[in-house]
Structure 1
Amino acid sequence: MQRQRTIVRTLGLAAAVALAATACAPQGAGAGSAAPSSPTASPTASPSKQDDKPGESSPSASPSQSPSSSSSPSSSAAPGPKALMANGDESEQVRELQARLRQLKLVSTAPTGFYGSKTTAAVKAFQSQHGLPATGSVDEATWQKVQGLSKKPTEQELRPPTTNEVDAPDPRCMQGRVMCISKESRTLAWMIDGKVVSTMDVRFGSENTPTREGLFQVEWKAKQWTSTIYHTSMPYSMFFSQGQAVHYSSDFAARGYDGASHGCVNVRDKKKLSELFDQVKVGDKVVVYW
């Protein structure tokens, strides 16, 4: 009986590891692969973001009243304007908004299509400048004003090939040796004791194969690696989360943000990544955050 329990527990662990592997992972990683896996790499959830969406907040609480036939339904506060775009959204419309805000010198980063803290701050600044309620979310009045003061973005403006501006580092990046990876600005900053040593553009997984967020560590490295699932080359791979890795992508270099990875963090500047690969050590931290 004791032997049966041991077998069940062993099979359960193997199944859990298999489910955790992503399409970006070497086949069998964590389950018999020659590549070592690190038992200490336990990702932690990144801090949650608060949304600031007008029209979804509760009306101001009114003093409790006993039921009365004279109570008027008009005494409750009216809901605010409906938000067309707000913190946490991701769409092509958000990408256009960001490109227009960039024309207006309210953001300097390239459009990503994700409505995060930088976009929220830029929208608040725009609303304050033009006498609109500074909610940080885009309602119809704000969107019309933005469109009226900017021109329709070109494809080059929506998806510029230039290097993205580095995001503010996550607090977990401020100590030690860290690959600090921002999903919002689509950048990787190699940092040592809070100082940025080098930066590069990165690309992430799609909605179906997302890049995990959290605090990790470099589990192992491979200067030359080929995915045993997709049979694609993954030079300068630095694995950090059950098969997900930072690595060079020729597809990213050729197509830019029109494509996506299967969960890995793609880099398109091969020279920069080769230099980073030589500096990063197994055990160095990796932080992926919005």
Structure 2
Amino acid sequence: MDDGDESEQVRELQARLRQLDHFDRAPTGFYGTMTAGSVKAFQKKRALPVTGTVDTATWERLLTVSKEPTADELKPSTTNELDTPDARCMTGRVLCISKESRTLAWMIDGRVVSSMDVRFGSENTPTREGTFSVGWKAREWTSTIYHTPMPYAMFFSGGQAVHYSSDFAARGYGGASHGCVNVRDQAKLAALFDQVKVGDKVVVHW
């Protein structure tokens, strides 16, 4: 397992590292820089070569010092933990969206008002990164390209929007969007939709 991998084995890795206090958030199944750092910390503590990559020796050692994760440890019902907000999110009204922690934080003047789990597009239809603004909103909308419902849509870059996804709610991270930022907690998003104004900033970052 290495940087950029995405699998159920990565999810198990993260859950086992979390048992040992090396990983401080809910497992996402994505091997990013935070996971690599957690692996390095584990390797250093266990006198293994500090590579940030999970080789056979690292995996076997991890299996001996951790227990098989429960279903709740693998996919907690709680929201993914936020990472440190991007500097661009610290002023004004911002939808601060992190691809690494898979979270959306609604922030006003540097304070997190609410947060929720999100998922993104696939390699073929990636979610664009950068600084945008909410161009328009639609409480009920159906994609004109994919003909799928997009409730509570807040468009920020062409056809890409933050919106509720029943597929995300049902399948979790087993699926992907067509580039939009999917939210699975409809109640949280409905409340956010009422607060966000056209023109508010949107930051999508790693």
Tell me the residue number matched to 1:89: 5
Tell me the residue number matched to 1:126: 42
Tell me the residue number matched to 2:112: 196
Cα separation, 2, equivalents of 1:281 and 1:100 = 41
1:235 aligns to 2:151 (yes or no): yes
What amino acid is aligned across from residue 231 of structure 1 in structure 2? H
Tell me the residue number matched to 2:74: 158
Tell me the residue number matched to 2:52: 136
1:279 aligns to 2:156 (yes or no): no
TM-score (norm 2): 0.90
Using the TM superposition, name which of 132-141 and 98-107 deviates more: 132-141
- Report if aligned partners of 1:176, 1:194 keep a CA contact under 8 Å in 2: yes
Structure number, greater radius of gyration: 1
Q: Deviations over 1:183-207 (max 9, x none)?
A: 1211100111211111011121223
TM-score (norm 1): 0.66
Tell me the residue number matched to 2:160: 244
Cα separation, 2, equivalents of 1:129 and 1:176 = 41
Cα separation, 1, equivalents of 2:143 and 2:3 = 35
Cα separation, 2, equivalents of 1:90 and 1:269 = 23
Q: How many residues align?
A: 206
Structure 2 SS opposite 1:190: strand
What amino acid is aligned across from residue 114 of structure 1 in structure 2? F
Cα separation, 1, equivalents of 2:120 and 2:127 = 6
Cα separation, 1, equivalents of 2:73 and 2:123 = 23
Structure 1 SS opposite 2:162: strand
Cα separation, 1, equivalents of 2:195 and 2:189 = 10
Q: Where do 1:36-75 residues align within 5 Å?
A: none
Report deviation, 1:154: 4.1
Report deviation, 1:244: 0.6
1:216 aligns to 2:132 (yes or no): yes
Q: Deviations over 1:27-75 (max 9, x none)?
A: xxxxxxxxxxxxxxxxxxxxxxxxxxxxxxxxxxxxxxxxxxxxxxxxx
What amino acid is aligned across from residue 146 of structure 1 in structure 2? L
Cα separation, 2, equivalents of 1:105 and 1:86 = 20
Structure 2 SS opposite 1:221: strand
Tell me the residue number matched to 2:27: 111
Percent identity, aligned pairs only, is: 75
Cα separation, 1, equivalents of 2:142 and 2:114 = 26
Report deviation, 1:155: 4.3
Structure 1 SS opposite 2:112: strand
Pick 1 or 2: higher relative contact order, CA cutoff 8 A, min separation 6: 1
Q: After TM superposition, what 4+ stretches of structure 1 lie above 6 angstroms from structure 2?
A: none
Q: Deviations over 1:257-282 (max 9, x none)?
A: 22222111111222211221122122
- Report if aligned partners of 1:220, 1:240 keep a CA contact under 8 Å in 2: yes
Tell me the residue number matched to 1:40: none
Stretches of structure 1 that go unaligned for 5 or more consecutive residues are: 1-84
Report deviation, 1:91: 3.2
